[in-house]
Chain A
Amino acid sequence: MSKETARALVVGGGVAGMQAALDIANQGFKVYLVERSPSIGGRMAMLDKTFPTLDCSACILTPKLSEIARHPNIRLMTCAEVGSVTGSAGNFRVKLRRKARFVRENLCSGCGACSAECPVEVANEFDQGLGFRKAIYTPFPQATPNVYTVDKENCIDCSRCVKVCERNAIDLEMKDSFVNLDVGTIIIATGFELFDVSRYPRLGYGQYPNVIHAMEFERLINAAGPTHGHLIRLSDGKKPKSIGFIQCVGARDVQKGVPYCSRVCCMYSIKNAVMALEHNPEAEVWVYYADIRAFGKGFEEFYEMAKSRFGVRFVRGRVAEVMEGKSSHDLVVKVEDTATSKLRLIEHDLVVISPGVIPSSGMDTMAKKIGIDQTNDGYIEISHTFFGPTITKIPGVFVCGCADGPKDIPDSVSAGSAAAMKATIILSSGGT
């Protein structure tokens, strides 16, 4: 196969898929990067800071986004999903469904005139429903491609946006379309989803306004988030003075079908605990944990700093219950402190639950379409821990990032590069 015809398909535009696409494209091969949401970036785009060095997530991610957008060898296809896959390594035929975004990508300049005009406001999923967006929107300021999308479910077809758009980019009649791609290799980088923490009713999520989950916390402290980075309680807008973080919710729990460790929650909670203190140095911050799993490069050192320099308090024990005060919406955490074997009741005005990581939605269907195996936990099965940690059962199909199990950013990036390596071996040899 010559470089001009050899092409790769990367499914999922999170940090792992983006890295894989870049490393293939940098070797001179063409890549289709397919993302089902309106923008690439994945979960990382939603994060405020990143452990273990507290870089601002958007700041380090944006260059990657624009690198993808301008790379001559990468063809970015958002609002798109894999319909079917036939063929074999070297010669896959992939049918892609491109969902109508109702805005023509080649015409929209991202000016936002439409959005200003749109009368419909809905909860913004990018902000975990804490902020609002219009029915015509981009999920976040650095969204790539920088093109608006109409959310047809909430659109009232008033056509105000159509009239205001100087470039005639909006087409409210647009239909889904299908494209066929011929590719030599496929990389799955579909990432993860968060465990639904309301499945633990005793922890009060969904019942008490001041019990939130970690991704909501990330958005709350983010400067571009719904509160412009002001850490406040949802019930009354007060600055929380005492915050509790609850670990391993929807992780390491056989009963809930998530027996495995989510790998990132310890660290992201330590990060968020430190950030809470950065926002309000007077606050008291507690973390309730089973084991602190600070295993990556610089992680233990970061954990130590959280304790010694920032004074985050760590209590070992599974939280039995979160209770709410009668009128104040203040909370009480009931926990058995296993270090002292005492049952303790600790008051907080904000509780942040750390959800575990689960396979991305739609994983089962996609795995079936491609014919790859899944593990008992629902992630993509790899061929061998040591011989093929990014290789699936189907030759020519590879996996990286959280699609085969929870990973932090550095591990996802490294896996993205590794999958790219494997894919290019196929591309250069024509599939044999």
Chain B
Amino acid sequence: MSGTEDEPRIGVFVCHCGHNIAGTVDVEAVAHMASNLPGVAFAADEMFMCSDAGQTLIKEKIKEHNLNRVVVASCSPRMHEPTFRRVVEEAGLNRYLFDQVNLREHVSWCHMREPELATEKAIDLVRMSVARASKLQNLPIKKVNVLPTTLVVGGGIAGLRASLDIADRGFDVLLVEKTPKLGGNVAKWTHLFPSDETGADIIKPLIRDVKKNKRIKILTESKVSEFDGYIGNFGVTVKNLKTEKEERYEVGAVIVTTGFEPFKPVGYYSYGESPDILTLAELQELPRSEQLLKISNGKPVKKVVFIGCVGSRQPGVKGHEHCSRHCCSATAKAAADLRDRVDEVLVLYQDIRTYGKGHEEFHRMARQKHVIYSKFPQNEYPDVIVKKSKITIKWRDVLADEDLEFEPDMVVLASAMIPPEDVEETSHLFSLTRSGDGFFNPEHIKLAPLTTHTAGVMIAGAAQAAKNASESVIDASGAAAKAVGLMAQGEVEIESTVSHVIPELCSSCHTCLTACAYNAISMDETKDPPIAVVTEAKCHGCGTCAAACPSSAIVMYHSTDDQILTMVEAFLCPSPSIQGGG
């Protein structure tokens, strides 16, 4: 029934998406028009095509009308193409005999105020899709094996947690850390919120367990220097930074936990002009002592000022627009702890974001201990003046509506979390994109926060966005579950919408090799002359090679020239029966 040689019998399903589409586009008119198109055997509109009811409708109509192609005119294929492909598959059709038209993002949402024109556009798009559908062909469903090892890049708390979970679940881990020591940033902190432990208390047992675990191979002072392959079968070259020696490994999945770097706020609040002006990270790294001493002269500190949002929350400043999430709580905790050892602690802030479990409580405790909180205006930053080893700070207190002045012995800047300096390198290696905050983009910001657009590569912890250590640990276990999900299945399906080189037409010019951004094309040197070949699991189906090939030797499966030109034709010359008003 799914033979593509048969006459096309196309089913067209137009979705209301509640009010989202139907509120603007006359969906009934679209479905009616579609029913008159050549090749269309059935057309209807429905409230929610993606709902169970909508899915059942498609399946029933495929059976009832013996449909061999399906067009759904609904939302963006990003979310639901997999849904509908599965539906047609369950009804016995090849999943590639389906085409989706985006009437929501591309029509109703962007032409909300011109419903008539929107309907006209919707009609054009559906007509084009139907034309394309009649040319769609069966494509094979392919699977690749998944190697049972995961590469974890970065040995901070997130990397350690992910490694342990994967190993405990019975799979192998290759853990690569660029510094000589495991533990990342948390290892450095002396005042951990929300508990009373130090960073070392937390990190040491994790490192011990990781080292003990036979399934985890640890490579410190090492970095990934080369990365290739595809989901399930990645090739990794790891370079030892000291010996410069390189070694090859093969892994099935990757978790990137490269974390963050505390921002050095040069140019903010006289940072660098006095040793007694330091970042919260630098304060945290001072050895724990009975008394807090001035860095400049070793005298006891009596008065401390903390300033929040340093290098964070700056609209229009690239890489510094985000909130760093951990600093309000870290400040509250450090301020409350220090208050026991110094006479006065002042916190200058914009908003207090102690949102987490127990955080509001120690924020309250800080206040009870008479830590003074003072809010400064959003665009009027405090002034820190250093004159002959004396520090003066002037600011406007919003709540008291007063200009204030204070002479602290020490100024602590709660500076931003920014990506590590080599982030660009990591982003290239694993083909990860980055968002405005500089950290890696997840596949979907809400529902897929741990996977990325590179299939088989996960992100966790501060590598994904500013966050605290507890949140990083949760991410890490979650990303481990994704990696294990792949490895436990042992194989994974890959897309068939890839490019293909027709050997007889290839002129060995190498143009496609340089055009492909994903290194998916290589030359088969065993042939004379050599011809280009595509590694399908690496191909993203972007079509760049096909456009570049001077010999027209490259076909894009599922977007063949024929399929695309029919759409253009359908747009330019609607069939006469339709022009006549249908």
Contact = CB atoms under 8 A, between A and B. Distances in A.
Interface in B397-450: 398-401, 435-437, 439, 444-450
Contact of B465 (A141, A292, A296): A296
Interface stretch (B51-59, B131-139, B331-339, B340-348): B51-59
Interface in A3-35: 15, 23, 26-28
B268 interface: no
A23 B485 contact: yes
Interface string A298-310: 1111001000100
Contact of B315 (A56, A63, A69, A304): A304
A90 B75 CA distance: 44
A27 B484 contact: yes
Nearest to B357: A405
B204 to A, nearest CB: 12
A413 B169 contact: no
Nearest to B323: A300
A411 B484 CA distance: 20
B53 A141 contact: yes
B55 A53 contact: no
Nearest to A307: B315
Interface in A370-389: 375, 385-387, 389
B169 A261 contact: no
A61, A295, A375, most chain B CB atoms within 10 A: A295
Given A293-B351, A410-B446, A424-B169, A62 B48 contact: yes
A15 B465 CA distance: 21
A21 B75 CA distance: 27
Contacts of A142: 48, 50-52
B18 A141 contact: yes
A415 interface: yes
Contacts of B358: 260
Interface in B484-524: 484-485, 488-489
B435 A298 contact: yes
Contacts of B313: 300
B353 interface: yes
Contacts of B47: 141
Contacts of A55: 446
B50 A66 contact: yes
A213 interface: no
Interface in A285-329: 291-301, 304, 308, 316
A424 B484 contact: yes
Given A293-B353, A301-B436, A417-B481, A389 B18 contact: no
Interface residues of A, number: 81
A28 B146 CA distance: 15
B399 A414 contact: no
A386 B477 CA distance: 12
B277 to A, nearest CB: 25
A110 B52 contact: yes
Contacts of B168: 425, 429
A418 B475 contact: yes
A128 interface: no
A299 B435 CA distance: 12
Interface string A208-232: 0000000000000011100011000
A295 B323 contact: yes
Contacts of A304: 315, 321
A223 B23 contact: yes
B170 A417 contact: no
B484 A421 contact: yes
B351 A63 contact: no
Contacts of A387: 202, 205, 473
A252 B20 contact: no
A293 B312 CA distance: 14
A346 B449 CA distance: 40
B267 interface: no
A62 B17 CA distance: 11
B368 to A, nearest CB: 12
Interface in B66-87: 75, 79-80, 82-83, 86
A409 interface: yes
Contacts of A110: 52-53, 56
B477 A421 contact: yes
A259 interface: yes
A66 to B, nearest CB: 6
Nearest to A70: B86
Contact of B474 (A223, A390, A425): A390
Given A66-B83, A141-B47, A340 B401 contact: yes
B79 A415 contact: no
Nearest to A409: B446
A146 interface: yes
A414 B51 contact: no
A26 B474 contact: no
A109 B57 CA distance: 11
Given A386-B157, A421-B165, A300 B450 contact: no
Given A63-B50, A141-B48, A308 B485 contact: no
Contacts of B444: 60
Given A293-B353, A386-B202, A418-B478, A66 B484 contact: no
Nearest to B349: A291
Contacts of B264: none
A418 B481 contact: yes
Interface in A50-95: 50, 52-53, 55-56, 58-64, 66, 69-70
Nearest to A258: B360
A60 B20 CA distance: 14
A69, A145, A260, A417, most chain B CB atoms within 10 A: A417
B446 A60 contact: yes
A403 interface: no
Contacts of A64: 447
B75, B169, B170, B446, most chain A CB atoms within 10 A: B446
Contacts of A392: none
Contacts of B165: 421-422, 425
Contacts of B52: 66, 69, 110, 142-146
A188 to B, nearest CB: 15
Given A58-B18, A59-B17, A297-B464, A291 B477 contact: no
Ranked 5 nearest A-B pairs via Cβ: A223-B19, A417-B478, A146-B52, A418-B477, A297-B465
Interface of A: 15, 23, 26-28, 50, 52-53, 55-56, 58-64, 66, 69-70, 109-110, 141-146, 222-224, 228-229, 252, 259-261, 263, 291-301, 304, 308, 316, 338-341, 375, 385-387, 389-390, 404-405, 409-411, 413-422, 424-425, 428-429
18 contacts: A23-B481, A27-B485, A59-B17, A66-B55, A109-B56, A110-B56, A142-B48, A260-B358, A294-B323, A296-B465, A297-B435, A297-B439, A385-B194, A386-B197, A411-B474, A417-B450, A417-B477, A421-B165
Interface of B: 17-20, 23, 47-48, 50-53, 55-56, 75, 79-80, 82-83, 86, 157, 165, 168-170, 192, 194-195, 197, 202, 205, 312-313, 315, 321-323, 325, 351-361, 364, 377, 398-401, 435-437, 439, 444-450, 464-466, 469-471, 473-482, 484-485, 488-489
Given A409-B447, A413-B449, A417-B479, 17 more contacts: A26-B489, A61-B447, A141-B18, A141-B48, A141-B51, A222-B18, A229-B18, A263-B356, A293-B351, A296-B325, A297-B465, A340-B401, A385-B194, A386-B473, A417-B478, A418-B476, A428-B170
